[in-house]
């Protein structure tokens, strides 16, 4: 049985609809990441689950109980805010114990839980400081600690790492993953950073404009994006998408190579996707397409090539990304012939949905 | 001392000669100091003058008292005068009594001989001295300690209630989104445009009907809801992030706890400013307490001061002395808390 279930949840603010009927089941112990471009409604959805906002329609269930009209405090959830929202006038210890004292918990148990959380997060030396005397990473720990002490049925984390610098973000990400493994508590995590999403998630929910585009395990999302949006959103640099036309069971790619395209009406507009990682320098007479290099990003272990399809320079040259392993001797303005394996192709029908067919898992 | 001297003689550049702008600046600032401090210092100096000296023309800057001498054969000390004799020599004599334009005087060294002197020929011998009875008499005999206590009570209680009610109103107006919120805010701020004198009569009727007339509560209660306070606190509370309140809500805090334990402590700087304002306002209130209070034992300081100004006779020496007493708390507040006042005014963005 799913622990948190959303059933046809919609939300509108003053007539503007921002969540359009979301159905979602979250299993116990999962770490589910909501990801999507800004304004897609991921934070709003989290606030609906937390109870800080009420859905306009639909129901939210936790542990099989309908909590749609239950107040935020009584849902048994804990939230970590993007700004941490630590009480600036209280010490770290008071910040941690505030929520417990409000439930009239016995003093001894409050002390015990605070000590336990502080030990787990290595913030014991900070307990008597105020939030203003802490660094960003320490504040982040305290914010998580404030959630942990409540022993919630699920954690809700709203972009918890976005205020940290890059280095700290990587280490906190690892700590969060370890914490989740240790506590085994359900977590819902909102981010716009797909690396966070890919590394942390048990399952990823991709949202766009208030709708769920796809729910899948991270690698499934990468390997089998359900539609053009997910294909373009997941992966960096993003997938190369080539619009073309299905003719006689095949479709032509730039450069003239035809690939099988089954299951769509003759003559329909289809899109073929190819990840930059799956392009390689063509060997010998291998068919492929020619790319004029516009920009080279040499990262050492790999080289990202931004190029334009040769021969399309006239009106709108199509941008193509390719990631070549190692440090190939290429220069700006060179024309490269790139090849690929058909197994790596992603095929999308006229409606933008993924076509079932040959495709690598 | 040398630091003060170098401060006062500081000039443009380093060690150059006086430039004309130095002179102008110095004169301008000196004039400013006299203009700002002169009246206050003169008030303090004059509060130590006796009634006769206050009526003198031309007035003196410093308080003086006439010297007296104990002369044999007289119970009371006699006032001393410098008398110019017909031969032009001057001698110091004590006056026994005055008869018409003549004064009967005696030489303290030779108490047997009485001397008649025309009053035009004598000048009082005076030295700088303080008429402290200006302070002692009202405080001891005229119940001014009682007035002082009333003022302290009114100021303290009114300020406490002001802070509580205004912060509650500001909390609702800044942190809850309800229909007509801006209209309510506008209405509250609009009352700033209605002066007390306009609502004096209806307010009196209300206070009278509620039985608060002639009690200190009648002075306190009508003044506690101040639009300035609500506005100042609301503007400050708007800067408190809503996420803090939501975090508290997740933490099982009731709305009252959110107000009392989260919002109020974070509003402390603005509360300090309002407290200072409120103390100064209530302490200086005159017209409303004058109207409400009629029993003498309920008078506040400002109303008490007014009792020295009668229709025919104004006891300037007492008024001046008690004005100084009345000023002291306000001056102290500004001396010690001016930091908060300027910070708060800047923060709230109002005058």
Three-state SS letters, chain B = CHHHHHHHCCCCCCCCCCCHHHHHHHHHHHHHHHHHHHHHHHHHHHCCCCHHHHHCCCCCCCCEEECEECCCCCCCCEEEEEEECCCCCEEEEEEEEEECCEEEEEECCEEEEEEEEEHHHEEECEEECCCCHHHHHHHHCCCHHHHHHHHHHHHHHHHHHHHHHHHHHHHHHHHCCCCCHHHHHHHHHHHHHCCHHHHHHHHHHHHHHCCCCCCHHHHHHHHCCCHHHHHHHHHHHHCCCHHHHHHHHHCCCCHHHHHHHHHHHHCHHHHHHHHHHHHHHHHHCCHHHHHHCCCHHHCCHHHHHHCCECCCCECHHHHHHHHHHHHHHHHHHHHHHHHHHHHHHHHHCCC
For residue B289, give both structure tokens. Answer: 């307490």
Q: Taking CB atoms and an 8 Å cutoff, what residues of chain A touch B257?
A: 102
- Interface with chain A: mutation pick from B241, B250, B263, B266, highest number of A CBs within 10 Å: B250
Give me chain A's average pLDDT, please: 88
**Residue A311: pLDDT above 70?**
no
State the nearest Cα–Cα gap between B249 and chain A, in angstroms.
6
B250 interfaces chain A, CB cutoff of 8 Å: yes
A72 interfaces chain B, CB cutoff of 8 Å: yes
Within a 10 A sphere around the Cβ of B66, how many other Cβ atoms? 16
What's the CA gap between A135 and A171, in Å, rounded? 15
- Find the residue in B nearest to A52 (Cα): B246
Nearest 5°: the CA angle A290, A293, A294 is: 135
Tell how far CA A66 is from the center of its chain: 27
The pLDDT value recorded for residue A253 is 83
A102 interfaces chain B, CB cutoff of 8 Å: yes
- Interface with chain B: mutation pick from A74, A100, A102, highest number of B CBs within 10 Å: A102
A12-28 pLDDT tens trace: 988 899 999 999 999 99
The CATH number given to B135-348 is: 1.10.3720.10
The pLDDT value recorded for residue A67 is 92
- Find the residue in A nearest to B248 (Cα): A99
- Find the residue in B nearest to A97 (Cα): B251
State the nearest Cα–Cα gap between B269 and chain A, in angstroms.
12
Determine, for residues A89 and B266 on separate chains, whether the beta-carbon distance falls below 8 Å: yes
Burial class, B280, CB count within 10 angstroms (exposed 0-12 / middle 13-18 / buried 19+): middle
The CATH number given to B64-128 is: 2.30.30
| ipTM over 0.95 threshold | no
**Residue A314: pLDDT above 60?**
no
State the nearest Cα–Cα gap between A117 and chain B, in angstroms.
16
The pLDDT value recorded for residue A312 is 57
- Find the residue in B nearest to A77 (Cα): B250
Determine, for residues A88 and B247 on separate chains, whether the beta-carbon distance falls below 8 Å: no
Question: What whole-number percentage of chain A has pLDDT above 70?
Answer: 96
Q: Which residues contact B155 (CB under 8 A, 6 or more apart)?
A: B278, B279, B282, B283
Determine, for residues A50 and B257 on separate chains, whether the beta-carbon distance falls below 8 Å: no
Determine, for residues B246 and A81 on separate chains, whether the beta-carbon distance falls below 8 Å: yes
Q: Taking CB atoms and an 8 Å cutoff, what residues of chain B touch A83?
A: 241, 243
A146 interfaces chain B, CB cutoff of 8 Å: yes
- Find the residue in B nearest to A143 (Cα): B247
Determine, for residues A99 and B251 on separate chains, whether the beta-carbon distance falls below 8 Å: yes
Determine, for residues B247 and A72 on separate chains, whether the beta-carbon distance falls below 8 Å: no
- Residue A357 confidence class, pLDDT cut points 50, 70, 90: low
Determine, for residues B253 and A83 on separate chains, whether the beta-carbon distance falls below 8 Å: no
Of B241, B249, B266, the CB nearest to A73: B249
A158-214 pLDDT tens trace: 999 888 888 888 988 998 999 999 999 999 999 988 889 999 999 999 999 999 999
Determine, for residues B262 and A79 on separate chains, whether the beta-carbon distance falls below 8 Å: no
| A123 touches A92 (CB < 8 A) | yes
Residues of chain B with pLDDT under 70: 14-15, 341-351
Q: Which residues contact A303 (CB under 8 A, 6 or more apart)?
A: A296, A297, A323, A324, A325, A326, A327, A328, A330
What's the CA gap between B203 and B97, in Å, rounded? 57
B306 interfaces chain A, CB cutoff of 8 Å: no
- Interface with chain A: mutation pick from B240, B245, B252, highest number of A CBs within 10 Å: B252
B161 interfaces chain A, CB cutoff of 8 Å: no
Within a 10 A sphere around the Cβ of B333, how many other Cβ atoms? 18
State the nearest Cα–Cα gap between A78 and chain B, in angstroms.
7
Of B244, B250, B254, the CB nearest to A87: B244
| SS3 state of residue A141 | helix
Predicted model pTM: 0.79
B255 interfaces chain A, CB cutoff of 8 Å: no
B136 interfaces chain A, CB cutoff of 8 Å: no
- Find the residue in A nearest to B246 (Cα): A52
**Residue A355: pLDDT above 90?**
no
Distances from the Cα of A323 to the Cα of A281, A309, A346, B79, angstroms? 10, 15, 17, 111
Q: Taking CB atoms and an 8 Å cutoff, what residues of chain B touch A73?
A: 249-253
- Find the residue in A nearest to B265 (Cα): A89
State the nearest Cα–Cα gap between B259 and chain A, in angstroms.
13
Q: Taking CB atoms and an 8 Å cutoff, what residues of chain A touch B246?
A: 52, 72, 79, 81, 85
Q: Taking CB atoms and an 8 Å cutoff, what residues of chain A touch B254?
A: 102
Q: With the CA atoms of B180, B182, B185 and B186 taken in that order, what torsion angle do they form, in degrees rounded to the nearest 10?
A: -110
B266 interfaces chain A, CB cutoff of 8 Å: yes
Q: Taking CB atoms and an 8 Å cutoff, what residues of chain A touch B247?
A: 79, 81, 85-87, 146
Give the domains, in start order, of chain A with CATH numbers: 4-229 (3.40.50.300), 237-348 (2.40.50.140)
Please give the span between the terminal C-alpha atoms of chain B, in angstroms, as a whole number: 38
For residue B322, give both structure tokens. Answer: 């008690």
Determine, for residues A98 and B246 on separate chains, whether the beta-carbon distance falls below 8 Å: no
Q: Which residues contact B246 (CB under 8 A, 6 or more apart)?
A: A52, A72, A79, A81, A85
B256 interfaces chain A, CB cutoff of 8 Å: no
Q: Taking CB atoms and an 8 Å cutoff, what residues of chain A touch B243?
A: 81-83, 85
What's the CA gap between B252 and B319, in Å, rounded? 58
Of B243, B252, B266, the CB nearest to A102: B252
- Interface with chain B: mutation pick from A89, A100, A163, highest number of B CBs within 10 Å: A89
| A288 touches A240 (CB < 8 A) | no
Q: Give the strands of the sheet with A250-252, arranged side by side.
A: A258-260, A250-252, A240-247, A269-274, A346-348
Determine, for residues A87 and B243 on separate chains, whether the beta-carbon distance falls below 8 Å: no
- Find the residue in A nearest to B253 (Cα): A102
From A256, A261, A283, select the one nearest A272 (Cα to Cα).
A261
The residues spanned by each domain of chain B are 8-46, 64-128, 135-348
| A204 touches A221 (CB < 8 A) | yes
CB < 8 Å from A in window 267-296 of B? 268
What's the CA gap between A80 and A208, in Å, rounded? 23
């Amino acid at each position: 049985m799913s622990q948190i279930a959303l059933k046809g949840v919609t939300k509108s603010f003053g007539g503007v609809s921002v969540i359009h009927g979301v159905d979602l089941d979250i299993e116990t112990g999962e770490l589910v990441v909501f990801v999507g471009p800004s304004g897609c409604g991921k934070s709003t959805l989290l606030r609906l689950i937390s109870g800080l906002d009420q859905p306009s329609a639909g129901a939210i269930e936790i542990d099989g109980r309908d909590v749609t009209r239950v107040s935020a405090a009584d849902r048994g959830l804990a939230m970590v805010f993007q700004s941490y929202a630590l009480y600036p006038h209280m010490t770290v210890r008071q910040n941690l114990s505030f929520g417990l004292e409000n439930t009239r918990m016995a003093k001894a148990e409050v002390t015990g839980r605070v000590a336990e959380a502080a030990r787990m997060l290595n913030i014991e030396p900070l307990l008597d400081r105020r939030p203003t005397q802490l660094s960003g990473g320490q504040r982040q720990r305290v914010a998580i600690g404030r959630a942990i002490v409540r022993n919630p049925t699920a954690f809700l984390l709203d972009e918890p790492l976005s205020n940290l610098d890059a280095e700290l973000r990587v280490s906190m990400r690892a700590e969060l993953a370890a914490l989740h493994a240790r506590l085994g508590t359900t977590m819902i995590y909102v981010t716009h950073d797909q690396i966070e999403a890919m590394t942390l998630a048990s399952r990823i929910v991709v949202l766009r404009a208030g709708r769920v585009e796809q729910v899948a395990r991270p690698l499934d999302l990468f390997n089998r994006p359900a539609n053009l949006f997910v294909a373009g959103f997941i992966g960096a640099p993003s997938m190369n998408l080539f619009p073309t036309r299905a003719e006689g069971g095949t479709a032509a790619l730039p450069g003239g190579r035809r690939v099988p395209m089954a299951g769509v009406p003759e003559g329909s507009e289809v899109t073929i996707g190819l990840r930059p990682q799956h392009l390689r320098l063509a060997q010998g007479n291998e068919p492929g397409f020619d790319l004029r290099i516009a920009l080279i990003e040499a990262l050492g272990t790999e080289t990202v090539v931004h190029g334009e399809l040769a021969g399309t320079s006239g009106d709108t040259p199509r941008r193509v990304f390719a990631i070549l392993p190692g440090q190939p001797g290429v220069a700006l303005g060179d024309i490269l012939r790139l090849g690929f394996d058909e197994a790596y192709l992603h095929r999308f029908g006229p409606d933008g949905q993924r076509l079932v067919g040959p495709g690598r898992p | 001392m040398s630091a003060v001297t170098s401060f006062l003689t500081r000039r443009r550049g380093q060690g150059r000669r006086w430039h004309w702008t130095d002179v102008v600046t110095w004169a301008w600032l000196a004039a400013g100091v006299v203009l700002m401090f002169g009246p206050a210092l003169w008030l303090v100096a004059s509060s130590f003058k006796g009634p006769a000296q206050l009526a003198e023309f031309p007035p003196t800057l410093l308080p003086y008292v006439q010297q007296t001498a104990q002369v044999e054969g007289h119970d009371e000390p006699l006032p001393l005068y410098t008398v110019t004799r017909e031969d032009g020599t001057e001698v110091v004599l004590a006056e026994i009594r005055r008869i018409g334009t003549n004064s009967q005087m005696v030489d303290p060294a030779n108490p047997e001989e009485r001397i008649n002197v025309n009053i035009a020929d004598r000048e009082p011998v005076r030295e700088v001295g303080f008429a402290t009875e200006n302070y002692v008499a009202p405080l001891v005999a005229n119940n001014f300690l009682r007035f002082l206590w009333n003022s302290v009570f009114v100021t303290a209680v009114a300020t406490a209630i002001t802070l509580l009610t205004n912060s509650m109103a500001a909390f609702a107006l800044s942190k809850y989104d309800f229909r007509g919120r801006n209209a309510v805010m506008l209405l509250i701020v609009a009352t700033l445009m209605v002066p007390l004198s306009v609502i004096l009569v209806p307010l009196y009727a209300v206070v009278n009907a509620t039985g608060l007339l002639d009690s200190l509560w009648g002075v306190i209660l009508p003044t506690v809801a101040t639009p300035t306070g609500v506005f100042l606190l609301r503007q400050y509370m708007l800067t408190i992030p809503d996420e803090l309140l939501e975090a508290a809500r997740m933490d099982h805090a009731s709305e009252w706890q959110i107000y009392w334990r989260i919002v109020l402590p974070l509003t402390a700087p603005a509360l300090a400013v309002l407290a200072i304002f409120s103390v100064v306002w209530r302490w200086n209130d005159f017209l409303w307490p004058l109207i409400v209070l009629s029993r003498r034992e309920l008078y506040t300081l400002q109303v008490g001061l007014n009792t020295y100004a009668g229709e025919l006779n104004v006891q300037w020496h007492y008024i001046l002395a008690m004005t100084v007493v009345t000023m002291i708390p306000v001056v102290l507040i500004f001396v010690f808390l001016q930091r908060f006042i300027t910070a708060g005014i800047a923060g709230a963005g109002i005058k």
